[in-house]
Amino acid sequence: MTKNFDRTSLESLLLKRFFYAPSFGPYGGVAGLYDYGPAGCALQSNILDIWRQHFVMEEDMLELDCTMLTPYDVLKTSGHVDKFADYMVKDTKNGEIFRADHLVKNVLKKRLEDDDLLKSGNAPAQGKGKNKKQPTPLSEETRKEYEDVLEQLDNYDGKGLDGLIQKFNITSPEAGNPVSECALFNLMFETQIGPTGALKGFLRPETAQGQFLNFKRLLEYNTGSMPFASAQIGKSFRNEISPRQGLLRVREFTMAEIEHFVDPQNKNHHRFDEVKDVECVFYPATNQMEGKGTITTTIGNAVESGMVNNQTLGYFIARIYLFLTKIGIKHEKLRFRQHMANEMAHYACDCWDAEILNSYGWIECVGCADRSAFDLTVHQKKTGEKLVVQEALPEPIIRDRWVIEINKPKFGPAFKKNVRFVQAYFDDMLADPTVSYPKTTKDSEKLWNEEKIMEFKKKLEEGNGSCNITCSDGNEYTITSDMVAVNKINEKINVREYIPNVIEPSFGIGRIFYSLIEHSYWVREGDEQRAVLSFPACVAPIKCLLTPISHQDEFVPILKDIATKLRAHKISNRVDDSSNTIGRRYARNDELGIPFGITLDFQTTKDNTVTLRERDSTMQIRDTIDTVVDLVDKLVQGKMEWKDVLANHKAFTSQEA
């Protein structure tokens, strides 16, 4: 982003060079849906390749490809059916719909800005709409109130937002009409799986659930050893209420998520030492609350001081930092901000976001959350399938435990059709009554609430082996000790069983993609302003431009030959033999961010030499075709830098046309 960054110019470049464009253009597009064109698709695919190398390959993560269609039950259990929602309000006259918190934010921000202009004597001319008024100056008190609300906006629920809308007389911005009360809108896309209409499903809102539900298979694939991580790259969906801000808020997006499964009693990381000296900018929750700034320090210090909770979380923060800067995100526009308690997702117990500064502000691009054992626990409870790690104990534990044991042959006939009410009475004595054990689990294997059991035992003893209980149907039933026994069992425990915790680095690829473009964009000064996208070679959509000095038939076989040679090295290239001047062609391909350019001229046909141009400096050198192809290969692979090329070649200045 240059000093005089102009987003409109950048956006028109991105459209013109087809990095991305609104989907279904001929049909007028759909808000929040974008297609990636050849340049954008290659850039995204290079980012993902490096991601895979950096995370999956480097750490032997277990990559998955799970379905996006997800049945209702799974997302009900995970909490998304109930909690993955935003508040919306409706313009009561024209029906336009707004996300409630965004409406409040935009209106109050606008009022503060208008007030600034008014007080500086630059108030805008009278508005156009009949409902627009010339702004009146705001009192210091009102300003303070607005600023406080904006700071705390995440803390308001539906009723709270209704209150703000009423209190500050917030109307729909364009039309000026009153808006309705807040209603919750679930952000998942719903559909029906199969022809019966009986199986409701959603498009996944995150790739994580598929990874959790495969935990057992993954652990087995990893021959039972912990810790380990799974990973998944794929699309997720979010039915945004009214998407704006280009690629930053879309309805269908690529995510790359890692679920690192770890022993809750040991969150150290065996490779932490390799990253402990990496320096990042941190913005902890306490600093945000106290209005203090950021802290720059090493990961080692951040973990040691307790600011970052544990080594594994710290390790991933460092690895995220290394990944982002490797692909071209600027160090000075990258910080790690800790979530405050009120903004944490329903499943997270701690979370640090990698935020990248772009023209929209500091944008959350990677979340690094400690989801604790939340997901595995709720799925285990719901399905009864054990999602646990079993670890041989160095020494067995021997202990006594009280259990209820129901004698089915006596119990069933005694209560006949009411047996379910009596059974429910005893199920309520389980340590966790919400767990559904598989039918084959014996009573003695279940975990019971010892306090409740002992109470029942006392009652039974007081009645000499018989007592009355009141069940949920309101009736009394008589229980005798031959139906239900309270027994002490002696257990020898050889295995420690635990539900692992999950550390989840979760990457929003589209947001990283867009930020990277902004960070790479600048305008060359000169006779005419020419835009350049200075992508690092490793992510550049196309690595090498091939262009003849002029449009002559004799260059065609040589171009083809060089293209074949580059392809053999898997170097993507683009031939531009259009009739534009060579300068215009360089400019056009600088807009695609192509780092290197090979140019053929008439000298080429005589001695088989070509020039090699570097995008950012526009400097050129000259050498034989084979040497130049070899140089490009080394440059693209990062085995050499441009300055190394210059060390062995003198700069070439004028092309023989």
Examine residue 94 and tell whether it contacts a copy of itself (CB under 8 A).
no
Examine residue 235 and tell whether it contacts a copy of itself (CB under 8 A).
yes
| DSSP 8-state class, residue 134 | P
Dihedral over Cα of 516, 284, 311, 373: its sign: negative
Residue 236 Cβ, how far from a copy of itself at the closest point, in Å?
11
Q: Which stretch binds a copy of itself (CB under 8 A): 63-71, 100-108, 119-127, 439-447?
A: 63-71
Would you say 189 or 498 has its CB closer to a copy of itself? Answer: 189
- Contacts with a copy of itself in 417-446 (CB under 8 A)? none
As beta bridge partners, residue 486 has 404
- Choose, by CB under 8 A, the member of 162, 576, 601, 623 that binds a copy of itself: 576
Examine residue 568 and tell whether it contacts a copy of itself (CB under 8 A).
no
Residue 23 Cβ, how far from a copy of itself at the closest point, in Å?
5
Residue 607 Cβ, how far from a copy of itself at the closest point, in Å?
28
Q: Which residue has the tokens 């703000």?
A: 164
Q: Which residue has the tokens 């069940």?
A: 471
Examine residue 193 and tell whether it contacts a copy of itself (CB under 8 A).
yes
Examine residue 498 and tell whether it contacts a copy of itself (CB under 8 A).
no
Burial label for 578, CB within 10 Å (0-12, 13-18, 19+), is: exposed
Residue 9 Cβ, how far from a copy of itself at the closest point, in Å?
19
Examine residue 487 and tell whether it contacts a copy of itself (CB under 8 A).
no
Would you say 28 or 291 has its CB closer to a copy of itself? Answer: 28
Would you say 199 or 646 has its CB closer to a copy of itself? Answer: 199
Dihedral over Cα of 338, 341, 343, 349: its sign: positive
Residue 73 Cβ, how far from a copy of itself at the closest point, in Å?
6
Three-state DSSP class for 367?
A: strand
Would you say 45 or 359 has its CB closer to a copy of itself? Answer: 45
Residue 627 Cβ, how far from a copy of itself at the closest point, in Å?
22
Distance CA 588, CA 572 (A): 17
Distance CA 2, CA 296 (A): 24
CB 48 within 8 A of CB 541: no
- Contacts with a copy of itself in 3-32 (CB under 8 A)? 17-18, 21, 23-27, 30-31
Would you say 479 or 600 has its CB closer to a copy of itself? Answer: 600
Residue 536 Cβ, how far from a copy of itself at the closest point, in Å?
18
- Choose, by CB under 8 A, the member of 5, 7, 63, 625 that binds a copy of itself: 63
The pattern of x and - marking residues 201 through 230 that bind a copy of itself according to CB under 8 A reads x-x------x--xx-xxx-xx-x------x
Distance CA 53, CA 42 (A): 16
User: Residue 183: which residues within 8 A CB-CB, separation 6 or more?
Assistant: 87, 88, 89, 90, 158
Residue 553 Cβ, how far from a copy of itself at the closest point, in Å?
15
- Contacts with a copy of itself in 237-256 (CB under 8 A)? 237, 239-242, 251-252, 254
Burial label for 223, CB within 10 Å (0-12, 13-18, 19+), is: exposed
Instruction: Write the DSSP assignment of 400-467 as a string of letters.
Output: EEEEEEE-HHHHHHHHGGGHHHHHHHHHTTBSSTT----TT--GGGS-B-HHHHHHHHHHHHHTTSEE
User: Residue 571: which residues within 8 A CB-CB, separation 6 or more?
Assistant: 543, 544, 632, 633, 636
Would you say 315 or 456 has its CB closer to a copy of itself? Answer: 315
- Choose, by CB under 8 A, the member of 34, 374, 426, 507 that binds a copy of itself: 34
Examine residue 189 and tell whether it contacts a copy of itself (CB under 8 A).
yes
- Contacts with a copy of itself in 375-394 (CB under 8 A)? 379-380, 383, 385, 387
Q: Which residue has the tokens 């022809």?
A: 195
User: Residue 334, CB half-sphere, CA atoms under 13 Å: how many?
Assistant: 23
Residue 285 Cβ, how far from a copy of itself at the closest point, in Å?
32
Examine residue 574 and tell whether it contacts a copy of itself (CB under 8 A).
yes
Cα–Cα–Cα angle for 377, 379, 384, nearest 5°? 95
Neighbours of 615 (CB within 10 A): 23
> What DSSP element (H or E) covers 140?
helix 140-151
Residue 359 Cβ, how far from a copy of itself at the closest point, in Å?
24
Residue 62 Cβ, how far from a copy of itself at the closest point, in Å?
4
Examine residue 68 and tell whether it contacts a copy of itself (CB under 8 A).
yes
Residue 442 Cβ, how far from a copy of itself at the closest point, in Å?
21
CB 336 within 8 A of CB 281: yes
The pattern of x and - marking residues 70 through 89 that bind a copy of itself according to CB under 8 A reads xx-xx-------------x-
Examine residue 625 and tell whether it contacts a copy of itself (CB under 8 A).
no
Kindly state the number of chain residues that form the binding site for a copy of itself, as judged by CB under 8 A.
84
